[in-house]
């Protein structure tokens, strides 16, 4: 393996000059920078991060702990975190706790189960001397994953830290629900049914709160009898559809795309045409939302932006000595409303084509 010293000798420059160039510092000429980078590429030089860590007490390694890599939200978030870290010459080590794979949804309130996997994961990363740890949750809830006296920077993603010492990065679910409410009202709908997730889930509560706010601003009465609570699965959309149809709703807001597909199943069986006889909106913008007919209007969760923002905050803590404030810093990433063909303008016009609208504060 070629060393930094050998690179410097080949380029006829000092070791510190090569180091500065590789670390992105600008105090060298463009000609020297180009020469060094060409030699680095030709020789296949790779930094020895562990050796650097011994010298600098920094490994330039960031640990990522995920609750379960199999969840649809986790992989894009992790990919974005890794990409930003690599762009700044940091390496990442990923630990997949497989909590859902191990125990489905029975571990949420079981601290013994949770910590039996979490604590060994943290200890493993600390033994490697990682500079910081990013914790990626499977769904939004208040999480106790780092102690207040944690010695290295930590951040909670897709969930909310129970401690104000650690920044949290989440979806702006309230604004997402608000935007869907505003959009449906703008299309003439007033009697809107909702197929929600679990009643005690933070995603459910925030989306419902935002939806209620939109109705209040438009002076549309919110009717709690038009809300049905499911379990986020396709079957929920199917099961809850019948009672809402009997209520005479003109539109149904499904709090995820999978339940919207279940709703489509029911409507197809009954000969009810989506986008004509009734309007449907989903949430997530999963691939299936484009595949079903008519294509589903839905709220896109910007998972890549969640990961990017999380990584940037971690790097800020590591490189700029940034310390989160004590008022529980929660960074909310907006969604994008993707307008397709599943919503009818009941004043007579139909939506055509697809467009998107970013949900901003």
Domains of the chain: 4-46 (1.10.260.40), 59-171+303-333 (3.40.50.2300), 173-301+336-358 (3.40.50.2300)
Per the prediction, the chain carries an average pLDDT of 89
Residues in the chain: 361
CA distance 224 to 184: 17
Q: Give the pLDDT of residue 359.
A: 44
Q: Residue 224 — very low, low, confident or very high, per pLDDT cuts 50/70/90?
A: very high
Q: Give the pLDDT of residue 220.
A: 95
pLDDT exceeds 70 at position 238: yes
- 346 Cβ neighbours under 8 A, 6+ residues apart: 187, 188, 189, 250, 279
Q: Give the pLDDT of residue 357.
A: 53
CB distance 308 to 169 below 8 Å: no
Q: What is the pTM of this model?
A: 0.80
- Comparing 6-20, 65-79, 219-233, which segment has the lowest mean pLDDT? 6-20
Sheet holding 330-333, edge to edge: 91-96, 61-66, 132-136, 154-157, 167-171, 330-333
Q: Give the pLDDT of residue 353.
A: 40
Q: Give the pLDDT of residue 48.
A: 62
Q: Give the pLDDT of residue 351.
A: 41
Q: Residue 338 — very low, low, confident or very high, per pLDDT cuts 50/70/90?
A: very high
- Comparing 62-76, 105-119, 124-138, which segment has the lowest mean pLDDT? 105-119
CA distance 288 to 128: 40
Q: Give the pLDDT of residue 331.
A: 94
Q: Give the pLDDT of residue 22.
A: 80
CB distance 90 to 120 below 8 Å: no
State whether residue 339 is helix, strand or coil: strand
Element holding 91 (H helix, E strand): strand 91-96
pLDDT exceeds 50 at position 354: no
| Eight-class DSSP state of 296 | P
């Amino acid at each position: 393996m070629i060393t930094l010293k050998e690179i410097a000798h080949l380029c006829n420059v000092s070791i510190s000059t090569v180091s500065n160039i590789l670390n992105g510092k600008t105090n060298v000429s463009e000609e020297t920078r180009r020469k060094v980078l060409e030699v680095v590429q030709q020789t296949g030089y790779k930094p020895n991060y562990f050796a650097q860590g011994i010298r600098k007490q920094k490994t330039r390694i960031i640990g990522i702990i995920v609750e379960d890599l199999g969840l649809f939200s986790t992989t894009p978030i992790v990919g974005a975190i890794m990409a930003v870290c690599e762009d700044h010459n940091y390496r990442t080590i990923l630990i997949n706790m497989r909590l859902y794979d191990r125990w489905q949804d029975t571990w949420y309130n079981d601290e013994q189960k949770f910590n039996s996997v979490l604590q060994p994961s943290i200890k493993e990363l600390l033994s490697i001397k990682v500079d910081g740890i990013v914790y990626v949750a499977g769904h939004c809830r208040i999480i106790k994953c780092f102690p207040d006296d944690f010695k290295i920077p930590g951040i909670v993603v897709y969930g909310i830290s129970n401690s104000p010492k650690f920044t949290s990065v989440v979806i702006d679910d309230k604004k997402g629900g608000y935007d869907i409410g505003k959009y449906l009202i703008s299309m003439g709908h007033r009697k809107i049914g909702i197929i929600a997730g679990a009643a005690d889930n933070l995603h459910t509560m925030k989306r419902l709160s935002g939806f209620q706010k939109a109705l209040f601003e438009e002076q549309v009465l919110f009717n709690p009898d038009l809300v049905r609570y499911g379990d986020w699965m396709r079957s929920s959309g199917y099961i809850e559809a019948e009672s809402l149809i009997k209520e005479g709703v003109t539109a149904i807001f499904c709090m995820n795309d999978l339940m919207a597909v279940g709703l489509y199943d029911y409507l197809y069986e009954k000969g009810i045409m989506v986008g004509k006889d009734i309007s449907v909106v989903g949430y997530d913008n999963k691939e299936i939302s484009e595949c079903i007919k008519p294509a589903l209007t839905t709220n896109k969760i910007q998972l890549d932006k969640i990961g990017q923002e999380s990584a940037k905050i971690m790097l800020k803590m590591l490189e700029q000595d940034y310390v989160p404030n004590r008022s529980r810093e929660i960074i909310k990433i907006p969604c994008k409303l993707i307008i397709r063909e599943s919503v009818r303008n009941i004043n007579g016009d139909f939506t055509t084509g697809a467009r998107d609208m970013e949900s901003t504060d």
